[in-house]
């Protein structure tokens, strides 16, 4: 039986920005169900958002559906080197968001798939920008260290990392 992995949200500081408080509260509830040790700040006005982005360092910024200030906030997030995601509904035209897609490939996330956002966020916080191959190796590491190692030791009588010294 394997132990459950610790959430990569633990000890992280997130900023939720949006005018619809219900959406922000729903997302906060979902995240806190996964990890109670995650610090979440919320901002509903442009002024409040800028004050928080200047005063704190955030591990991730989540913007609810873009408004008139969205471009300024995203530019500030880029200057401060905060990764960000825009939660979008289908009413927002793609052309409005196109400039940000070039600079941040994971900027858009559909509100219709909000239940998939937390695993996405955990994955991005855990692995950042490392390659897919490295992630695959990390996922398989437990298999090789447990199953392969015990099988190897039973067959050869030596630790598997000594494989170059074994003559079969």
pLDDT, residue 94, reads 67
pLDDT, residue 52, reads 95
* DSSP for 9-37, written as a single string: TTT-EEEEE-S-HHHHHHHHHHHHHH-TT
Q: What would the CATH number be for the domain defined by 13-127?
A: 3.40.50.2300
Reported as a pLDDT band with limits 50, 70 and 90, residue 167 is low
Cα 118 → chain centroid: 7
> By three-state DSSP, how is residue 7 classified?
coil
> How far, in Å, CA of 7 to CA of 5, rounded?
6
Domain boundaries, the chain: 13-127, 132-163
pLDDT tens digits, 52-104:
999 999 999 998 866 677 778 888 888 898 888 888 776 566 676 666 666 66
pLDDT tens digits, 110-164:
788 888 888 888 888 887 766 566 667 776 666 665 566 666 677 777 776 666 5
């Amino acid at each position: 039986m394997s132990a459950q992995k610790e959430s990569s949200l633990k000890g992280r500081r997130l900023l939720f920005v949006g005018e619809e408080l219900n959406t922000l509260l729903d997302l906060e509830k979902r995240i806190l169900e996964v990890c109670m040790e995650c610090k979440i700040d919320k901002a509903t006005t442009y002024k409040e958002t800028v004050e928080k982005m200047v005063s704190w360092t955030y591990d991730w910024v989540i913007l609810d559906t873009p408004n008139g200030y969205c471009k300024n906030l995203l530019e500030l997030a880029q200057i401060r080197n905060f990764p960000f995601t825009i939660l979008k509904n289908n009413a927002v035209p793609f052309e409005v968001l196109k400039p940000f897609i070039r600079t941040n490939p994971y900027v858009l996330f559909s509100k219709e798939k909000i239940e998939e956002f937390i695993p996405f966020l955990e994955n991005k916080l855990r692995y950042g920008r490392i390659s897919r191959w490295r992630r695959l190796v990390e996922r398989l590491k437990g298999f090789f260290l447990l199953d392969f190692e015990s099988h190897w030791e039973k067959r050869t009588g030596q630790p598997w990392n000594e494989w170059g010294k074994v003559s079969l």
